[in-house]
Structure 1
């Protein structure tokens, strides 16, 4: 059982990592990221196949397939279809969206099954689910914080250059192109991490059986944060908004995220620091 738990943990983490690379390709047509994402996703499919084969071998032929096996097959099928589509067609949004669904199904299937023990025997299933949820969310917050710093640097440099003010500090900062690029890359990393964190949060709420938590102010505001950064990417990729306006929007999105984190202790029913 411990071996199976490690295998399932590996599938979850590698699956999440592959989605990061697929998201990078989706927003920026990055062929290297697509190859890396496809390679990791192929490895996920291989691990799923191994797990599925062993489960089917151990399966009691006299009994019907369980919900766990059915959902696992569904996730396995979604991964297989997305790999085929990714190989022969350039429909990045479809591939990414299908795999977000597949990841959520896989996580719900794993953490709702008491027979799949967590790696640490002293942990409950919900504890491990929350650990992954919190880890992904903190990773996204860190990436957004870095993006906010670079956007602040961009805005400062832009204003100084526009007003023709020169200083030694400007010489120590990266160029406008680099600060804009670094902020963009940070958002590309943070956005899928937050999306995966939110999906696992929804899975946790479903397992807790209290659907009212879906309407908790912290949950709703987290989706607003996701929308704010999604709109930033839309403005940059589709609308081709100038860098100074993008920097201001990125700073605004960071402020929304920061307020969401700081005030969670006051108005959230379950996202509290103490």
Structure 2
């Protein structure tokens, strides 16, 4: 009963951690103080839960949890999170906080879903299945964000065409202005990129745990990282103002075509993604 409760607690912390990283990513690029504050309070909740777990674990084992590799990982993750909160509150170094939390999330994911720490094989297999479920869910949500971003880019080009041709019909008035369409497309990319990154982290961990013959050069892994780089470049171009307007919309549409190729074609060529593609 204690082990089941702890595994559920860890899974909840992983989800909160992921959401906070997403918000920190938005703040990192847009200096959004609301996102920063919400991310800070979510991390604070995770820290409270981690601290409670440490005390419960010490009461349960009657010792300080650093004697095994997995106990050490958890304590390491707790220290990283504590430092992250202190830095965020006192020093306001957002760049450091964001990447520190990426490391903390990876450590927490390794600790949470490592099957060796489970007392029974059944619980171990169940936890690995839940890891796979979270990985797939986050990947799909990132694809949803990219899909919506594609729609807004397509609407941007349609609106641009109508304005250029001076077609002042009812279709023009039903579309949002160009600036808002471009911003919505950009915001959705901001959501999709960290979601895809976290999904890749969890997916790689699942593959390392579950597969006997895991290859880093698997087509799906390469395709996903290429997709991550492309959307990262779109965000970079938007932030640096190197590309905007129509050209950025075309690039975003081309990137979505790669999303479709990665999802429908490259998944079929993968050595292991055919199980759930």
Question: Normalising to structure 2: TM-score of the pair?
Answer: 0.91
Query: 2:253: which partner in 1?
Result: 251
| Cα 1:64/1:136, change in 2 over 3 Å | closer
TM-aligned CA deviation for residue 248 of structure 1: 1.2
* Residue matched to 1:14: 16
Indicate how the Cα distance of structure 1 residues 102 and 220 shifts in structure 2: closer, same or farther if over 3 A, else same: same
Instruction: Give the match for residue 189 of structure 2.
Output: 187
2:231 aligns with: 229
| Deviation larger for 104-113 or 145-154 | 104-113
Superposed CA RMSD in Å reads 2.3
Residues 32, 193 of structure 1: CA spacing in aligned structure 2 closer, same or farther, 3 A cutoff? same
How many residues get paired?
Answer: 273
* SS of residue in 2 equivalent to 1:71: helix
The gaps in structure 1 that reach 5 residues or longer are none
- Check conservation: 1:16, 1:196, Cα contact below 8 A: yes
Deviation at 1:199, TM superposition (A): 0.6
Aligned to 1:44: 46
- After superposition, where does 1:1-274 map in structure 2 within 5 Å? 1-59=3-61, 61=63, 65-116=67-118, 124-208=126-210, 210=212, 212-272=214-274, 273=276
Give how far 1:113 is off: 3.7
Find the aligned partners of 1:117 and 1:178 in 2 and give their Cα distance.
53
Structure 2, unpaired ranges of 5+: none
Cα distance in structure 2, aligned partners of 1:23 and 1:126: 27
Q: Which moved more, 1:48-57 or 1:228-237?
A: 48-57
Matched-pair contact (CA < 8 Å) for 1:2–1:117? no
Q: Hey, what's the Cα distance between the residues in 1 that align with 2:126 and 2:5?
A: 17
Structure 1 pair 64/178, CA: closer, same or farther in 2 (3 Å)? closer
TM-score, with length taken from structure 1 = 0.92
Query: In 2, Cα distance between the equivalents of 1:206 and 1:110?
Result: 14
